[in-house]
Amino acid sequence: MTEYPHIHYSPKPSPRPKPSPAPNPSTTSWKSAAPYASSPTAPVPKEVIENLIMTASTAPSGAHKQPWTFCVVGDPDIKAKIREAAEAEERESYNGRMSEEWLRDLAPLGTDWQKPFLEIAPWLIVVFKKAYEMEGGERRKCYYVNESVGIACGFLLAAIHHAGLVSLTHTPSPMNFLQKILDRPDNERPFLLIPVGYPAEGATVPDLRRKGLEEVSVWF
Ligand SMILES: Cc1cc2nc3c(=O)[nH]c(=O)nc-3n(C[C@H](O)[C@H](O)[C@H](O)COP(=O)(O)O)c2cc1C
């Protein structure tokens, strides 16, 4: 196997995607269109989502396998199917499948089985991990798939928020209905479902306390 050609490291590598052109509500004409941009159903240009995905796809991955596929759903009929299937699973989870401890931990967040955001958000990004990849009809291994795809999702979430948009890391469990609805091949498994859009006017989030530095780090 031939090595990749090596090039000099530059702090600004040329192939990086341009920063997302997501409108910045404080500096652009979008501010004057506030009711539009502050609605969770306001359209987000496809190009913004493309840039977010290309940012996520710069994530490091085991042996450079890039074992991810980002399925982007804007079609209302497919979103409705996803919502229906997700709510069916979540209804069962909240009504008996989740442990008492899990339900107690979730209670302060105020979530339940209903997931209207799956139809309200202009885009759903469904991230699939590749358990293995196919090359010329042959199965090839991928390495550290969960770690790699987790890092890519972290990049994606950070980029979404950096672009002035909001999202939710959603894991309707079990998630295999996504593989069926989106007709993904056998080697792809659903990893995260990430709705993306603008925050609703007056939206609220839990006022959470972050652990302090001394709680999350140990220095040697
Ligand atoms: C891997 C993962 C899975 C999650 N799954 C769900 C989910 O299915 N439904 C939901 O409402 N929130 C889900 N969340 C959101 C978390 O509950 C949310 O991040 C938390 O309430 C806010 O705390 P944080 O900011 O410390 O993460 C998930 C978050 C992560 C990281």
Query: How many domains does the structure of the chain reveal?
Result: 1
In a domain, 217, yes or no: no
Taking residue 152's Cβ as centre, other Cβ atoms within 10 Å add up to 26
In a domain, 211, yes or no: no
Q: Any residues with Cβ below 6 Å from ligand 1, and which?
A: 109, 111, 168-172, 208
By most ligand atoms within 8 Å of CB, the mutation choice from 112, 117, 161, 171 for ligand 1 is: 171
104 neighbors 24 (Cβ within 8 angstroms): no
- Identify the residue whose C-alpha is closest to ligand 1 atom 31: 169
pLDDT value for 60: 98
pLDDT value for 21: 52
Q: For residue range 60-87, what is the model confidence (pLDDT) as tens digits?
A: 999 999 999 999 999 999 999 999 999 9
In a domain, 59, yes or no: yes
pTM of the model: 0.88
Is 45 strand, coil or helix?
coil
Q: How far is the CA of 179 from the centre of ligand 1 (A)?
A: 21
The mean pLDDT value of the chain amounts to 89
Q: Give the model's confidence band at 214: pLDDT under 50 very low, under 70 low, under 90 confident, else very high.
A: very high
Instruction: Locate 129 and state its tokens.
Output: 């991990």
Q: How far is the CA of 170 from the centre of ligand 1 (A)?
A: 7
pLDDT of 23 > 70? The answer is no
In a domain, 27, yes or no: no
Q: For residue range 39-62, what is the model confidence (pLDDT) as tens digits?
A: 888 899 999 999 999 999 999 999
In a domain, 65, yes or no: yes
Of the ranges 19-28, 111-120, 152-161, 189-198, which one carries the lowest mean pLDDT score? 19-28
Q: Give the model's confidence band at 9: pLDDT under 50 very low, under 70 low, under 90 confident, else very high.
A: confident
Nearest-angstrom CA–CA distance, 128 and 173? 14
In a domain, 31, yes or no: no
Q: Give the model's confidence band at 36: pLDDT under 50 very low, under 70 low, under 90 confident, else very high.
A: very low
- What average pLDDT does the segment 190-213 reach? 94
Q: How far is the CA of 21 from the centre of ligand 1 (A)?
A: 27
Domain of residue 189: give its range: 6-14+39-201
pLDDT value for 18: 52
3-state helix, strand, coil in the chain (%, to 5): 40, 15, 45
Ligand 1 atom closest to the CA of 210, numbered from 1: 26
One-letter amino acid of 119? E
- Identify the residue whose C-alpha is closest to ligand 1 atom 9: 170
In a domain, 137, yes or no: yes
Nearest-angstrom CA–CA distance, 43 and 39? 9
- CATH of residue 171: 3.40.109.10
